[in-house]
Amino acid sequence: MAAPVSTGVTASENMTDSANGPIQSPVDGQKRPQFGTRFLTDPRKVFQHNAWDNVEWSREQEEAAQMKVQENSEPLPPEKQVEFDSRAHEYWNDFYGIHENRFFKDRHWLFTEFPELSPRWKTAWHSKEGACSREEPAQSVPNLAVSSEEAPAAHTEKADFPGVSASYRILEVGCGVGNTVFPILKTNNDPGLFVYCCDFSNTAIDLVKSNPEYDSSRCHAFVRDLSDATAAYPVPEQSLDVIVLIFVLSALHPDKMQSSVSSLARLLKPGGVILLRDYGRYDMAQLRFKKGRCLSENFYVRGDGTRVYFFTQDELHELFSGAGLEKVQNLVDRRLQVNRGKQLTMYRVWVQCKYRKTLTRPQGDAAHN
């Protein structure tokens, strides 16, 4: 079944439901309790529901997608590429100027998929598989990560460090207007929590700061270009427990992804994790790009000037392991969305990753054995 084709894709069309579709996949043996309830076993019944979980792709479907991408892989000329790169933040400013905070919806899946954002979560390293343990309450878990006091203040003076007394620090990069940040602040009432969030769109950050739920005693929003690996963050290296990347890495030029991920990895405490959810290869949004929108392989510019890359699991693994992080989770989430009225089928593909900074265990610490 072919994905529907539209003309003149803009960020708003292209990203509809991108982050809101429930996630299901039993990949990696991870238990994912909320999702995975509806499987399409009889293709004749496809229009009986709005969505199907964990959809298998046939080889023919994969090959057809590959061919469609191939047909539309002629890159735009270099001067256009440079313009889209140098003015990237302006295109996003325009996007938020138009949509303000009405576009991206809050995510109900956030805490089931990423319990690291929930209250009482601590970076824990003692589960048998070596993966983060979501069940362990904070009190029973040795917090092996270095504290902010011990962490080297590489980029910032301690006096300038918002949230210096916090015991759990989350940074969201590419936070937009706060559709992840505000649910975290609302749901996670841990008094030790501090949330940093940044975006290179100053329009988006102004909207975050003007939100009545913005509380500067618990949160610090700032403008920052992720792709500028030399620019400073207002936190010391090795001071963050969690970094969240939701549909943002895909907006960067592929050449800048590795240095960007590596600069983020330096901010993580040993034991800290990067959580990512982003577009997967052959997602409907990729297949519906028209000719003349391709920038380089699997990288496109939308009608409104914003850009998007479509990842494979392997590429993300390379990026995170290239930054010295180890895999906790790397899965692909394939979902079939159905427009019953128009009898359209839409194959969505997302990738979800958790990568952590290896813990360097202090010598002679029995708690770690």
Ligand X SMILES: C[S@@+](CC[C@H](N)C(=O)[O-])C[C@H]1O[C@@H](n2cnc3c(N)ncnc32)[C@H](O)[C@@H]1O
Contact positions toward ligand X, by CB under 6 A? 15, 19, 88, 92, 104, 174-176, 179, 199-201, 204, 225-227, 246-248, 251-252
Task: Say which amino acid occupies 266.
Answer: R
Q: State how far the Cα of 339 lies from the Cα of 201, in Å rounded to an integer.
A: 33
Q: How many residues does the chain have?
A: 369
**Residue appearing with tokens 């057809």:** 64
**Cβ proximity to ligand X, 101 vs 118, nearer residue:** 101
Strand pairing category for 240-246 and 268-279: parallel
**Cβ proximity to ligand X, 233 vs 355, nearer residue:** 233
Axis crossing angle, helix 88-99 with helix 202-210, rounded to the nearest 10: 40
Task: Say which amino acid occupies 339.
Answer: N
Q: How far is the CB of 365 from ligand X (least distance, A)?
A: 37
Q: State how far the Cα of 88 lies from the Cα of 200, in Å rounded to an integer.
A: 9
Q: How far is the CB of 265 from ligand X (least distance, A)?
A: 16
Q: How far is the CB of 19 from ligand X (least distance, A)?
A: 5
**Cβ proximity to ligand X, 123 vs 250, nearer residue:** 250
Q: How far is the CB of 91 from ligand X (least distance, A)?
A: 9
**Residue 178 falls in which region: left (phi positive, over 0), alpha (psi -120 to 50) or beta:** left
**Cβ proximity to ligand X, 88 vs 146, nearer residue:** 88
Q: State how far the Cα of 117 lies from the Cα of 122, in Å rounded to an integer.
A: 9
**Cβ proximity to ligand X, 264 vs 359, nearer residue:** 264
Q: How many CB atoms lie within 10 A of CB 164?
A: 16
Q: How far is the CB of 202 from ligand X (least distance, A)?
A: 10
